[in-house]
Structure 1
């Protein structure tokens, strides 16, 4: 069930990435954020109740709330026009929590690749904090492209592989994910993040 939710996380991240680079309007992105945000709150609640006290199952579900609350907040802000600062500071909390989930993933769950994926999510939500919480608009376009890349690399593709039974964790896969991600984001930074072009105004996203 959580794997299905991860697939739609890829969808909402894709739309929100397009929102950040100025392709999609904030109100147009609101429905998918509300749909997926609701899903990412209902799903972990069900999984935790069904876990019947199983600590491993609960830990796998607990982190989903971080994303569910983010997307609901994005959708609500897009509709109401409320300030984004609160969402930005919540994103810092998510970024820090994601580091903890990364450590838990490798130390307790033994899932090396998803430990790396959690670190990439931490990086992405840190960018959301910098753009929304601190108002660093010059990072908006870079953040948008990172969001689009992570939509597929950390959500949609892993979800499809998990759903179809083709996902197989290994040290090699984890290292490959880490190296490719660092190189890709580093190259993207030099291509976009350091341009002297005028920054894109921050729309209602996340």
Structure 2
């Protein structure tokens, strides 16, 4: 994933996490989801057109569609009021793909840091599945807080390292990302149990909407 694309993944995840914990209204969050969703569909399409059957390039672009379609889906749901079950089950598909891509990052690409990042995204998208696909509304705050944390752990921070040419990948750094992700998940469950008394998650037809 390009540094610019990764930066805006961090941005939209941050906004969607705030939407889930009731800080940002759904229709307001929909705007950024449309912007980033379109970017994450147009850019990989251009890459694929110019790939000339180069498999590493195609592999790198393919995962971007998972994000692009998710954000466009969120934008449409928030703008129209359609319930989120379809997005929830799509999130299960994304989570499964993220596991595969994460393993390939370790084995095929030799990039353990992005392997850890992809596996973290798999956990996040699985939470979206539980929340939206299975209607586990009690996970709304937990998912929202984890989304906020993951936005920076897997998006903003590595994007800036890439942008300034300081990105490195090794087993030690991958372990650091993993520890940060586990700590973020634990913190999200703690904060999710407490909730926020003055706010409600963004919901439509009784189903919280995020991604």
TM-score, normalised via structure 1 length:
0.94
Q: Distance in 1 between matches of 2:196 and 2:58?
A: 46
**Any idea what the Cα deviations from partners look like across 1:150-174, whole Å, max 9, x if unmatched?**
1111011111111210111111100
**Any idea what the Cα deviations from partners look like across 1:15-69, whole Å, max 9, x if unmatched?**
0000000001100111100000000001111112222111111111110000000
Q: 1:196 offset after TM fit, Å?
A: 8.5
- Report the CA distance shift for 1:12/1:196 in structure 2 as closer, same or farther (over 3 A): closer
Counterpart in 2 of 1:15? 15
Residue 176 of structure 2 is aligned to residue 176 of structure 1 = yes
SS in 1 for 2:116: helix
- Report the CA distance shift for 1:137/1:104 in structure 2 as closer, same or farther (over 3 A): same
Q: Distance in 1 between matches of 2:154 and 2:48?
A: 23
Alpha-carbon contact 1:105-1:114 (below 8 Å) kept: yes
Residue 122 of structure 2 is aligned to residue 122 of structure 1 = yes
In structure 1, runs of 5+ residues without a counterpart are: none
Alpha-carbon contact 1:137-1:202 (below 8 Å) kept: no
Q: Distance in 1 between matches of 2:114 and 2:201?
A: 33
Alpha-carbon contact 1:17-1:146 (below 8 Å) kept: yes
Q: Distance in 1 between matches of 2:195 and 2:43?
A: 43
Counterpart in 1 of 2:99? 99
Structure 1 stretches of 4+ with a deviation exceeding 3 A read: 193-202
In structure 2, runs of 5+ residues without a counterpart are: 204-208
- In the TM superposition, 1:45-84 aligns within 5 A as 45-84=45-84
CA RMSD between the two structures: 1.8
Alpha-carbon contact 2:91-2:125 (below 8 Å) kept: yes
Aligned residues: 205
Alpha-carbon contact 1:131-1:202 (below 8 Å) kept: no
Q: Distance in 1 between matches of 2:31 and 2:187?
A: 32
Counterpart in 2 of 1:40? 40
Q: 1:195 offset after TM fit, Å?
A: 4.5
